[in-house]
Amino acid sequence: MPSGVKRRTDIGVSSHRTNRYTFATWWTKDTSRRPRIVPDTTDSHDGALTIDHPHREFLDQVLDKWSLSVLSELCERPCRFNDLRRAIPAVTQKSLTATLRRLERNGIVERVLLSSRPVAVEYRITPLGKTMRHPVEVLLEWVAVHMPEVERARRAFDLE
């Protein structure tokens, strides 16, 4: 047993089922009195691409499970909510609502009130949202080209 380490059963803590369960919990006796210096791992390399918090948050919100499908539909034409549900049948009403709100909050989609009685709303892609079309198409092209390699890597990993 390492010095400065006590076993849980050595200090009088035991279970009423000692014959069934054994304690193998170890901890140090006290904390270190010497501060350890941890090297900074956030050094930015010149010219390197970094994804900081605001960027990561935006990408998480815009590149989630349903956003690309919604953006694909809205790039073709403005749609009402039920048109989007019919175009993306696997999405639930709750997920589609949350996705549209996230995209609207980030300025990618706008919600346009068509009439007040009965309430009719249409969703359109904004000019900012249209600027995302090219990078997303490049990403999807990369996926189309490299998907066989990805699938081979997945199969190899799953066999291990």
Could you write out the DSSP letters of every residue in the chain? --TTEEEGGGGT---TTTTT-----EEESS--SSPPPPPP--PPPTT-----HHHHHHHHHHSSTTHHHHHHHHHHS-EEHHHHHHHSTTS-HHHHHHHHHHHHHTTSEEEEEEEETTEEEEEEE-HHHHTTHHHHHHHHHHHHHHHHHHHHHHHHHHH-
Domain 53-159 class in CATH: mainly alpha
Tell me how far apart the alpha carbons of residues 117 and 8 are, in angstroms, rounded to a whole number.
70
The pLDDT value recorded for residue 110 is 97
The pLDDT value recorded for residue 15 is 47
pTM above 0.85, yes or no: no
Split the chain (160 residues) into runs of 10 and give each run's mean pLDDT. 52 49 53 61 63 82 88 92 95 95 95 87 95 88 95 94
The pLDDT value recorded for residue 158 is 95
The pLDDT value recorded for residue 146 is 97
Tell me how far apart the alpha carbons of residues 129 and 27 are, in angstroms, rounded to a whole number.
53
The pLDDT value recorded for residue 52 is 79
